[in-house]
Chains A and B, each alone.
Chain A
Amino acid sequence: EAAVTQSPRNKVAVTGGKVTLSCNQTNNHNNMYWYRQDTGHGLRLIHYSYGAGSTEKGDIPDGYKASRPSQENFSLILELATPSQTSVYFCASGVSGGAGQNTLYFGAGTRLSVL
């Protein structure tokens, strides 16, 4: 069974502070993703990665950085957190390429509140 673990599960941060959300997968998947979910918006893609050392911008990358130091780990970094970044963040992993079967496996989510 695919396993994606996010930490922390809950985080309260202050405006202007630095926040790092971590994600670890034990599936040996090439691709990893960071989404945020807000009421009425579904999941929106922030950053993703095709493998160690690579990061790509998604639809809403402003205010976020990503880091993929290894196949297993993918971090989302908020250098200067703002209240608008209060949200639930989901990490996912998936197999790249091929027709029709890039199923994503999601972590349990991180609830971030920026005060």
Chain B
Amino acid sequence: GQQVQQSPASLVLQEGENAELQCNFSSTATQLQWFYQSPGGSLVSLLSNPSGTKHTGRLTSTTVTKERRSSLHISSSQTTDSGTYLCAPSSNYNVLYFGSGTKLTVEP
């Protein structure tokens, strides 16, 4: 399966600042998804971006397929953005492999 490295491991911001999260993976990915895990543990999909740039709300993801990397930009962070962000590439269309995540803390 894929080897997935996410950086930074943790990040502390003041409300209103922007966050940049990085994901590098070992094999060519046909899919790339970003997930959010709440402090309580629940997991939800944020967006799917196998290549190029995709926006949704305050989130922007850029995936460079050939370089096997993806980033997630969070603009104007809010305290409710606090949690762990997980990157999950896939080499086929069926199995996602997860990184260890970036733990984001947004302080008021």
Chain A interface residues toward B at CB < 8 A: 31, 33, 35, 40-45, 48, 50, 58-59, 88, 90, 92, 94, 96-106, 108-109
Contacts and interface: CB of A to CB of B under 8 A. Distances in A.
Contacts of B96: 102, 104
B4 interface: yes
Interface of B is mostly: loop
Interface in B5-39: 30-31, 33, 35
Those 7 A-B pairs whose CB atoms lie nearest each other, nearest first: A42-B100, A43-B98, A106-B43, A42-B98, A103-B45, A100-B50, A97-B93
Given A43-B98, A50-B94, A108-B42, A103 B1 contact: no
18 contacts: A35-B98, A41-B100, A42-B86, A42-B98, A43-B98, A50-B94, A58-B1, A59-B1, A90-B43, A96-B94, A100-B30, A100-B48, A102-B94, A104-B88, A104-B96, A106-B42, A108-B41, A109-B42
